Amino acid sequence: MPVKDSPVWFPVFVTEILVIFIINGITIAVFARIRHLRKRSTYLIINLTVADLLVGAVTAPLLIDHHDEETNVLTWSRFIIMAIESVFPVASQVNLFLIALERLHATLFPFRHCLITKWLYFKFIVGSWLVILLIAFVMPSLPRHASPYAWASLSTVTLLVLTVCYTIIIVNVRRSPHSQHHGSIYAERKLSVTLLMVTAVSVLTILPNAVYESIPVDLREELLNTSGFDTHEVVAVIYLVGSIVNPLVYTIRMQAFRKALRNLVCKSTEPARVTALHPHTMR
C-alpha cells in the first residue's frame, strides 16, 4: 500500500515532517536573529540545519508521493524528482562529514585552526554544495541495481569518518594536559558527551538505511513480499529522525544558543504581556 494511502504510515511521516520543519526552523531563526551566534564555529552547523530543514520540507513529501512507484523507465520528470529527493539527504550526510573533519582539525591543530578565515568556510560550504548536487544527479542515472549500493557506500563512509574523527577528538580531549586548568574539566567532559551523542545518533539513524540499501534488490523485494513487514517505511522513519535530533544535539547543548532562544521567546511574548496588563491600549 502506498504511504499516502496508509492509515498508519501517512500520519507518522506527516508528523515527522512537521517536527523537522519546526525544530530546524526555530534553530535557523535563532541564528538569524542573534548575530553573535553566527561565527566560524557555527557556520557548518547552520548549513547542516538548513539541509535538515529541507529534508523535511522537500525530500520527505516527495518520498511519500513517489517512492511506491515501480517502473524501470527513467523519464526526465522522474529523473528530476529522484535527483531532488537525493539532494538534501546527501547534503545532511556531507555536512556531518565536514563538521567531523572541522572539529578534528580544531582539536589537533588549535592555533592553525584559529587562523582560518570565515571566507574559507564559505568556500568550503559552496564547494560542498556543488559536490552534493553532482552526487544527487549521478545517483538516479545509475543502474537500478547499483543505486542502492551507492547509497550504502555513502552512508558507510559517513559513519566511518564520524566514528574515527570523534574517537580521536575524545581521546585527545581526555589526554589534554590543559584539562586541569581554568576549570575546563567540566567543559571538556560536556564536549565529550556531546560528541558521543552526535556519533551515536548518526550511527543509529544512518546505519539501518545503509544495511537496508546494501541488501540486493531482488532479495529485498522477495523478503518484503514474503514477510509483509514495512521495512522501507521503518528505515525511512528512522533516517528522518536524524534531521530532528541533529539540530538538538548541536545547538540545544550550546549554552549561548539556549540563552539566545530564551531571549527570543521572551521578546516575542513581551507585547502580549503588555497588552494583557494594559487593555486600554487596544482602544
CATH among 1.10.540.10, 3.40.710.10, 1.20.1070.10, 3.20.20.10 for 3-265: 1.20.1070.10
Task: Give the pLDDT band of residue 269 (cuts 50, 70, 90).
Answer: low
Cβ atoms of 195 and 172 within 8 Å: the answer is no
Which helix (H) or strand (E) segment holds residue 124: the answer is helix 118-138
Query: Does residue 8 have a pLDDT over 50?
Result: yes
Which helix (H) or strand (E) segment holds residue 18: the answer is helix 9-33
Cα distances (Å, whole numbers) of residue 221 to 5, 49, 252: 20, 34, 40
Cβ atoms of 200 and 233 within 8 Å: the answer is no
Cβ-count burial of 214 within 10 angstroms (0-12 exposed, 13-18 middle, 19+ buried)?
middle
Query: Does residue 276 have a pLDDT over 50?
Result: no
The pLDDT, as a whole number, for residue 191 is 60
Cα gap 199→148, rounded to integer Å: 23
- Which of these ranges, 11-20, 29-38, 175-184, has the smallest mean pLDDT? 175-184
Cα gap 155→214, rounded to integer Å: 10
What angle do the packed helices 185-214 and 231-247 form, to 10 degrees? 160
The backbone torsions φ and ψ at residue 169, rounded to the nearest 5 degrees and listed phi first, read -60, -45
- Which of these ranges, 57-66, 160-169, 263-272, has the smallest mean pLDDT? 263-272
DSSP structural state of residue 142: S
- Which of these ranges, 70-79, 194-203, 264-273, has the smallest mean pLDDT? 264-273
Per-residue pLDDT tens digits for 123-135: 999 999 999 999 9
Cα gap 260→32, rounded to integer Å: 11
The pLDDT, as a whole number, for residue 127 is 93
Highest average pLDDT, of 87-91, 100-104, 203-207, 255-259, comes from 87-91
The pLDDT, as a whole number, for residue 274 is 41
Cβ atoms of 91 and 132 within 8 Å: the answer is yes
Cα gap 265→269, rounded to integer Å: 6
- Mean residue pLDDT across the chain: 77
Predicted model pTM: 0.81
Cα distances (Å, whole numbers) of residue 267 to 145, 255, 261, 272: 54, 18, 10, 10
The pLDDT, as a whole number, for residue 54 is 92
Task: Give the pLDDT band of residue 18 (cuts 50, 70, 90).
Answer: very high
Contact residues for 221 (Cβ-Cβ < 8 A; gap 6+): none
The pLDDT, as a whole number, for residue 215 is 77
The backbone torsions φ and ψ at residue 34, rounded to the nearest 5 degrees and listed phi first, read -105, 105
Query: Does residue 48 have a pLDDT over 80?
Result: yes
Q: Please give the residue that has the higher pLDDT: either 164 or 199.
A: 164
Q: Give, in degrees to the nearest 5, the angle at Cα 252 between 129 and 246.
A: 40
Per-residue pLDDT tens digits for 148-188: 778 888 888 888 888 888 888 888 877 765 554 444 455 55
Cβ atoms of 26 and 261 within 8 Å: the answer is yes
